[in-house]
Amino acid sequence: MSAPAMGTTRTAHSDASHKKKKGPGALATAYLVIYNVVMTAGWLVIAVGLVRAYLARGSYHGLYYSIEKPLKFFQTGALLEILHCAAGIVPSSVVLTGFQVLSRVFLTWAVTHSVQEVQSEDSVLLFVAAWTITEIIRYSFYTFSLLNHLPYLIKWARYTFFIVLYPMGVTGELLTIYAALPVVQKTGLYSITLPNKYNFSFDYHTFLILTMISYIPLFPQLYFHMLRQRKKVLGHVEEYSKVE
């Protein structure tokens, strides 16, 4: 779910060449192109940062620290995409986009940032790498689609890489949350106990466990949806390649 947010309802972009619906106006399109270019660049910075840090250190442990700031900046920036849907300049559902972006932001801030002990875990690299590759492909896909010049390679990558990246990202996310559990339980992070004047309690440890459990019904649904999308979009390749 947080992992490759491949956009379940974004095939409208891929059909942009022959289904001219009431899309964004010229100003909105210009803004979206800039937005997607900036995001592509941002995630490229993160990718380069990871590679350079690996080469400098000679190991793949603890690479999170070298890309912590751009990761936080660009992943949080994706919240704008919810506004794009709400404003109608992007044809996706607000709820679906909101869910995908918020789960990413949750993992970035409420787990990785908040529980410092997990930052050195290898599972963090697993989901960061998955997100990075996915986002570079996804944002360049949108950029090219908006400019009506979508190279088949990008389209293919967008609807193929997820097959590996999605499970990879989900594994990284789950392992990271799992690593955070003992720390959260010990420190009572983000938890409220009774008695208090609001007569309310919240156990973040239990909440994290429930979050992990929620992956069980959600992940297969999203994964198989994307496989179906792949068949639809890449299935009739022969007809489309002429139009492109």
Partner 1 sequence: MKHYEVEILDAKTKDKLCFLDKVEPNATIGEIKSMFTKSHPQFYPTRQSIRLDPKGKSLKDEDILQHLPVGTTATFYFRDLGAQISWVTVFLTEYAGPLIIYLLFYFRVPFIYAPKYDFTTSKHWVVHLACMCHSFHYVKRLLETLFVHRFSHGTMPLRNIFKNCTYYWGFAAWMAYYINHPLYTPPIYGEQQVKLALIMFLFCQIGNFSIHIALRNLRPPGSKTRKIPYPTKNPFTWIFLLVSCPNYTYELGSWLGFTLMTQCLPVAFFFIVGFIQMTVWAKGKHRSYQKEFPHYPTLRSPILPFVL
The site for partner 1 (CB under 8 A) is made up of 194-201
CA–chain centroid gap for 178, Å, is 20
Strand partners, 192: 202
Closest contact distance (angstroms) between CB of 193 and partner 1 is: 9
Could you say which of 139, 159, 173, 215 is catalytic?
173
Closest contact distance (angstroms) between CB of 197 and partner 1 is: 5
Could you say which of 139, 142, 166, 240 is catalytic?
166
Q: For the chain, what is the largest distance between any 2 Cα atoms, rounded to a whole number of angstroms? A: 68
Q: For residues 200 and 239, which CB has a smaller minimum distance to partner 1 in the complex?
A: 200
Q: For residues 197 and 242, which CB has a smaller minimum distance to partner 1 in the complex?
A: 197
Q: Catalytic residue at 166? A: yes
Closest contact distance (angstroms) between CB of 206 and partner 1 is: 14
Q: For residues 148 and 196, which CB has a smaller minimum distance to partner 1 in the complex?
A: 196
Distance in angstroms (rounded) separating the CA atoms of residues 211 and 13: 31
Q: For residues 195 and 217, which CB has a smaller minimum distance to partner 1 in the complex?
A: 195
Q: For residues 171 and 191, which CB has a smaller minimum distance to partner 1 in the complex?
A: 191
- Which residues, in sequence order, are CB contacts of 208 under 8 Å at separation 6+? 111, 177, 180, 181, 184
Closest contact distance (angstroms) between CB of 125 and partner 1 is: 38
Distance in angstroms (rounded) separating the CA atoms of residues 88 and 85: 5
Q: In this structure, how many other beta carbons lie within 10 angstroms of the beta carbon of residue 117?
A: 13
Q: Catalytic residue at 152? A: no
Backbone angles phi, psi at 237, to 5 degrees: -65, -40
- Which residues, in sequence order, are CB contacts of 129 under 8 Å at separation 6+? 50, 168, 172
Spatial CA neighbour of 176 closest among 188, 164, 184: 184
Specify the residue for token string 């001219």: 20
Distance in angstroms (rounded) separating the CA atoms of residues 31 and 26: 9
Closest contact distance (angstroms) between CB of 240 and partner 1 is: 28
- 13 burial via Cβ count (<10 Å: 0-12, 13-18, 19+): buried
Active site residues: 166, 173
